[in-house]
Copies of this chain bind each other. A is one copy, B any other.
Amino acid sequence: MNEFDLIARLTRSLPSNESVVTGPGDDCAVLDLGVPDKLVLFKTDAVVEGIHFTRETPPEKVGRKALARCLSDIAAMAGTPTAALVTIALPKDFDVAFVSQIYEGMKELAEKYRVAIVGGETTTNPGRILISISLLGIVDRDRQILRAGAKVGDAIFVTGELGGSLAGKHLDFEPRLEEGRWLAAHFKIHAMLDVSDGLAGDLRHILKAAKVGAELLKSALPVSRAARLHSREPASGQKPAALAALTDGEDFELLFTVAGKDAVKLLDAWRKKFPHVKLSCIGKIVAGDGIVLRDKTSSHKLAAHGYEHFT
């Protein structure tokens, strides 16, 4: 049983109440707590030593990453983050300086985005550090962007570059908060999420939610320099760069769809507003299911699990 199967099983028939606008399964939960004109976003995310960072990772970057991951989810709902709680589970022999520096990295990013850190707790976790962040945000009522809503004919866009994040970006990425809000304010975005598990996997979430398929143009994928360099190293096992862009994960870019007729206008406006942030139209939403990848001479369907047959 993989993580998604387990979550699907655990989140069957969860208790709800009248405050819930959007429950499990999107980037954030969306709640109506009675704020006029606003909805509340609620998100939690954890990083674990040995998985998301190591003892060799600069501790400030560990703290930064822990918070930035949650901020990226708020960005994907077009929201503004407000307040965070920090749970940090520590081995008994923890290094006080290391833990303090984790906090420093978190605090610096929180200050940048005006997020209050309003508490949390420390607890014991023999063997490894685990940091769980809970984040509250707000979004203009009816301006939150969900994963569902993609329509046949939509253009598919992604910000920034993809693949090779482990070379450094996973510790330094900038959550696309301003970009997310700008998109929601100026265009009718049909579906949006942040790319954390890899473009192919995350796009599938959008496709499943709307029961549609996607056609991607291989040459349009914004492959990062890190992924291209890595693909040339013998140690990479010759993983093609485009495959890295589709599957590496931890990109924390925004993936979204808009009506095809809005695509050019959106690209033009984006380039004026965010001249230093790449935006790529990588394909379109089609009837059917799954992802077809096209290049000049051929097209083939990506396997739903694993990418062994990818060339």
Q: Is B33 in contact with A138, judged by CB distance below 8 angstroms?
A: yes
> Count of A residues near B, CB < 8 Å?
69
CB-based contact B48/A38 at 8 Å: no
A120 touches B24 (CB 8 A): yes
Residues of B within 8 A of A128 (CB): 125-127
A40: chain B residues within 8 A (beta carbon): 33, 40, 136
Q: Among B9, B35, B85, point to the contact of A43 (Cβ < 8 A).
A: B85
A23 contacts partner chain B, Cβ-Cβ < 8 Å: yes
A275 to chain B minimum Cβ distance, whole angstroms, is 29
> How many copies of the polypeptide does the oligomer hold?
2
Residues in chain B near residue A50, CB distance under 8 A: 126
**Complex formed: what's the CA distance from A16 to B13 in Å?**
37
Q: Is the CB of A44 within 8 A of B87?
A: yes
Residue pair B87, A17 in contact (C-beta under 8 Å): no
Residues of B within 8 A of A118 (CB): 14, 16, 20, 22-24, 29, 31, 42
A175, chain B: closest CB distance, angstroms: 15
Contact residues in B for A14 (Cβ distance below 8 Å): 107, 110, 116-118
Question: Which chain B positions have C-beta within 8 A of A34?
Answer: 35-36, 38
**Distance to closest chain B CB from A18 (angstroms):** 9
Are A85's CB and B126's CB within 8 A? no
Which of A96-104, A232-240, A243-251 lies on the face that meets chain B? Answer: A96-104
